[in-house]
């Protein structure tokens, strides 16, 4: 069976790779590929085979069935166990025509009748001797001991095929997770010509992983640039060696899916069942901050400007007047003066031969040098070396580190490449500075990489909130809405213990609907923060203050006011000039109506209370009348009680009549007040 060689591999970021294989064939023949069961779906849905010759062609592509070994063996008559296999085979093919080779070279043909077992004693040990019973072609029945039989040839073609199928299936089943694909190639008459057979397919594979090295010298820090070296980790999980292949790495996420293509699909039919009867730790002491030494940031910035100009001028003069031939500063191996920054860049660049291609939604790295990776092995492959924009800054976010800012590199992808996400090791001035993660970066994207905590810069923050007086009022749906401002004052106290000037990015959290009313620096905006960029002088301490404001309101239900309370609020609104005279008159009218309504309700409550007392009194009188006798004194008392009951009944009827009238007036007044409240409006 011929083998195909891997020529090119394209690895994607979504869990599959695209393989291109090539084989040379003369005449007709077969190529064999082997895959895991779980890979067969991807391979079968994407497999493409091409014979590049004029007359040659692919006659068919066969592959192992998706059935388990025991299911495959059900279709044949044989089932041979692992032990005593010869006896088991002979028993299962009883009646088959065979040719025995017995003794030296004696051949005997006949039909198998079966096996006989004879027990005998050998040195007082009982042993069982097996003999094959054969019905010979001449009609004789003979027995041959197993020890005498040198070979047995089965003459029946069907049995021979079953035996071969059984053995092939069993050996294939030992590799439980492996299935073969056989590509049958026909020459078409060109038997003497070498033909190229190309095969391509996709299969599941590990994604390619990227790691970076960012190398910056002190000189490069002044020039705000650094060397970016990118490496890709490639894993060959296939059963084939990759020898001098073309390797491409594609960044991006094309659509991909697994389609159940390999295993047989059976439609499940419903099963209808007949009816059945149902069933304590140490703490760190904080360092004190001398408040009287802090000064406002705006004043410190004004003082810092001349000093910063002097420092920049000094740095420029050092670079401008460096003596010719002087060893470059800040390069790799700077102590020995081995290589300058430029020499390092050119050396690493020469080792990376990668062509890139922008594919719209995707970006491809084509490794120019041939790549060799043995099966089940991995390799690091260089994919890029570029000089990119980079600036050392500090980033403070109180939600990340409460007391100290992060040391960061602000990098800009000013290359023509798309950078994949991956870890990066940062080397500064020939030493490890820290590690970070480079996110997915398109061209001209800028990101901050935090690689360490700057403990020499200490930051504390305080926040105070204050509600100011009401400044306007509105009305609606029976409510008055009084608006006032809430002011949020945040104070950052920043102390720089370093001997050098630092640039600090301060991320101040966004607070819903708050707007700045005081700030000494204009911020940049991110999704969740306002980013202020500050300059920290060496050995300096500053105070940076931010004042934000938001308009809030409180609502008051006008129905809950008494006349006095409402008129008092109206007087306040007039004094503050929140309302005009027309609205003032409307509110005063509503206050009078509310008072009238409250008077009616008070009268209603008094009548209801009187009626309730009268009801209790009537019950008591009726109970007393029921227990009086027929003597003259009792009769006199009854008459008095009856008269009182009669008077109360008249009053009871009068109260009910008055309550009915009051209820009507209250409803009318309620409706009137509600209409007037709904008409309230402010300009």
- Say if residue 516 is in the same domain as residue 601: no
Per-residue pLDDT, 126: 79
- Tokens representing 482 are 């009084």
What is the chain's alpha carbon radius of gyration, rounded to the nearest angstrom?
A: 49
Q: What CATH number has the domain bearing residue 116?
A: 2.30.30.720
- Say if residue 528 is in the same domain as residue 553: yes
Place 497 in a pLDDT band, splitting at 50, 70 and 90: very high
Asked if residue 271 belongs to a domain, the reply is no
Asked if residue 7 belongs to a domain, the reply is yes
Number of domains the chain contains: 5
pTM summary value: 0.62
| Domain termination residue (choose one: 531, 557, 583) | 557
pLDDT tens digits for range 372-400? 999 889 988 888 888 999 999 999 999 88
Helix (H) or strand (E) holding 585: helix 581-627
- Beta bridge mates, 194: 26
Strand, coil or helix: 190? coil
- Say if residue 8 is in the same domain as residue 59: yes
- Say if residue 216 is in the same domain as residue 361: yes
- Tokens representing 101 are 């080779």
Per-residue pLDDT, 361: 62
CB 378 within 8 A of CB 234: yes
**Residue 495 is part of which domain span?**
461-557
Asked if residue 234 belongs to a domain, the reply is yes
Asked if residue 291 belongs to a domain, the reply is no
First to last CA, the chain: 93
Q: Which of 564, 560, 584 is nearest to 574 (CA)?
A: 584
pLDDT mean over 355-362? 65
Beta-carbon contacts of residue 240 (< 8 Å; ≥ 6 apart): 5, 6, 375
Place 331 in a pLDDT band, splitting at 50, 70 and 90: very low
Place 353 in a pLDDT band, splitting at 50, 70 and 90: low
CB 113 within 8 A of CB 97: no
Asked if residue 298 belongs to a domain, the reply is no
Asked if residue 263 belongs to a domain, the reply is no
What totals of helices (H) and strands (E) does the chain contain, helices first? 10, 30
- Say if residue 14 is in the same domain as residue 132: no
CA pair distance 364, 405, nearest whole angstrom: 37
- Say if residue 13 is in the same domain as residue 59: yes
Number of residues in the chain = 683
CA pair distance 534, 298, nearest whole angstrom: 10
Q: Which of 434, 386, 394, 436 is nearest to 412 (CA)?
A: 386
Per-residue pLDDT, 319: 38
Asked if residue 438 belongs to a domain, the reply is yes
- Say if residue 442 is in the same domain as residue 488: no
DSSP 8-state secondary structure symbol assigned to residue 596: H
pLDDT tens digits for range 596-618? 988 998 998 998 888 888 888 87
- Say if residue 26 is in the same domain as residue 167: yes
pLDDT mean over 636-650? 80
- Say if residue 415 is in the same domain as residue 520: no
- Say if residue 552 is in the same domain as residue 423: no
Phi and psi at residue 106, to the nearest 5°: -75, 125
Phi and psi at residue 359, to the nearest 5°: -110, 30
> How far is C-alpha 164 from the geometric centre of its chain's CA atoms?
52
Pairing between strand 377-397 and 502-509?
parallel
Asked if residue 403 belongs to a domain, the reply is yes
Residue 314 pLDDT greater than 70, yes or no: no
Per-residue pLDDT, 141: 87
Please spell the DSSP secondary structure of 310-361, one letter per residue. Answer: HHHHHHHHHHHTPPTTPPPSS-TTTTTT---HHHHHHHHHHH--EEEEEETT
- Say if residue 443 is in the same domain as residue 370: yes
- Say if residue 231 is in the same domain as residue 357: yes
| Domain termination residue (choose one: 453, 475, 497) | 453
| Domain termination residue (choose one: 514, 540, 557) | 557
pLDDT tens digits for range 419-459? 888 999 999 988 999 999 998 888 899 999 999 999 999 99
Per-residue pLDDT, 70: 57
Helix (H) or strand (E) holding 486: strand 479-496
């Amino acid at each position: 069976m011929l083998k195909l060689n891997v020529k090119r591999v394209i690895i994607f970021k979504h869990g599959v790779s695209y393989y291109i294989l090539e084989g040379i064939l003369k005449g007709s023949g077969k190529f064999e590929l082997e895959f895991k069961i779980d890979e067969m779906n991807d391979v079968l849905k994407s497999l493409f085979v091409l014979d590049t010759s004029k007359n040659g062609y692919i006659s068919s592509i066969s592959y192992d069935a998706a059935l388990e070994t025991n299911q495959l063996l059900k279709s044949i008559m044989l089932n041979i166990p692992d032990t005593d296999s010869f006896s088991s085979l002979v028993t299962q093919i009883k009646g088959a025509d065979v040719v025995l080779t017995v003794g030296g070279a004696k051949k005997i043909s006949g039909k198998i009748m079966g096996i006989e077992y004879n027990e005998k004693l050998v040195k007082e040990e009982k042993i069982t001797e097996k003999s094959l019973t054969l019905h010979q072609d001449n009609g004789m029945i003979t027995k041959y001991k197993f020890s005498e039989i040198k070979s047995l040839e089965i003459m029946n073609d069907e049995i021979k095929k079953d035996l071969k199928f059984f053995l092939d299936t069993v050996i294939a089943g030992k590799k439980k997770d492996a299935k073969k694909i056989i590509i049958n190639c026909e020459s078409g008459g060109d038997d003497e010509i070498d033909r190229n057979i190309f095969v391509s397919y996709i299969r599941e594979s590990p994604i390619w992983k990227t790691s970076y090295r960012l190398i910056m010298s002190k000189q490069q820090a002044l020039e705000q640039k650094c060397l970016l070296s990118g490496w890709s980790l490639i894993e060959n999980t296939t059963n084939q060696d990759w020898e001098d292949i073309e390797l491409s790495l594609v960044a991006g996420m094309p659509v991909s899916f697994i389609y159940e293509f390999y295993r047989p699909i059976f439609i499940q039919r419903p099963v209808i069942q007949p009816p059945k009867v149902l069933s304590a730790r140490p703490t760190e002491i904080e360092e004190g901050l001398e408040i009287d030494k802090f000064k406002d940031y705006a004043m410190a910035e004004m003082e810092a400007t001349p000093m910063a100009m002097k420092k920049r001028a000094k740095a420029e003069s050092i670079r401008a007047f460096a003596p010719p031939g002087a060893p470059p500063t800040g390069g790799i191996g700077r102590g020995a003066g081995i290589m300058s920054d430029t020499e390092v860049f050119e050396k690493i660049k020469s080792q990376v031969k990668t062509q890139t291609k922008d594919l719209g939604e995707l970006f491809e790295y084509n490794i120019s040098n041939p790549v060799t990776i043995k099966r089940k092995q991995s390799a690091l492959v260089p994919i890029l070396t570029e000089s990119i924009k980079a600036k050392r800054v500090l980033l403070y976010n109180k939600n990340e580190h409460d007391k100290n800012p992060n040391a960061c590199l602000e990098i800009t992808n000013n290359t023509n490449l798309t950078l994949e996400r991956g870890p990066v090791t940062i080397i500064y001035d020939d030493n490890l500075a820290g590690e970070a993660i480079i996110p997915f970066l398109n061209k001209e994207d800028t990101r901050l990489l935090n690689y360490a905590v700057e403990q020499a810069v200490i930051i504390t923050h305080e926040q105070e909130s204050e509600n100011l007086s009401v400044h306007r009022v509105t009305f609606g749906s029976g409510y008055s809405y009084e608006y006032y401002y809430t002011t949020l004052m945040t104070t950052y106290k920043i102390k720089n213990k370093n001997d050098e000037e630092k640039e600090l990015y301060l991320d101040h959290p966004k607070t819903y609907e708050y707007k700045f009313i005081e700030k000494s620096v204009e911020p940049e905006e991110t999704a969740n923060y306002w980013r202020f960029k500050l300059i920290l002088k060496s050995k300096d301490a500053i105070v940076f203050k931010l004042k934000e404001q938001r308009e809030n309101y409180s609502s008051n239900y006008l129905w809950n006011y008494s006349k006095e309370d409402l008129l008092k609020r109206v007087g306040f609104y007039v004094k503050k000039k929140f309302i005009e005279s027309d609205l003032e008159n409307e509110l005063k009218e509503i206050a009078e109506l509310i008072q009238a309504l409250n008077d009616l309700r008070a009268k209603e409550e008094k009548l209801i209370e009187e009626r309730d007392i009268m009801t209790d009194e009537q019950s008591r009188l009726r109970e007393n009348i029921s227990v009086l006798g027929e003597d003259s004194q009792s009769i006199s008392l009854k008459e008095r009680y009856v008269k009182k009951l009669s008077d109360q009944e008249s009053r009871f009827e009068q109260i009910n009549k008055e309550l009915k009238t009051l209820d009507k007036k209250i409803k009318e007044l309620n409706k009137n007040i509600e209409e007037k409240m709904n008409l309230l409006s402010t300009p």
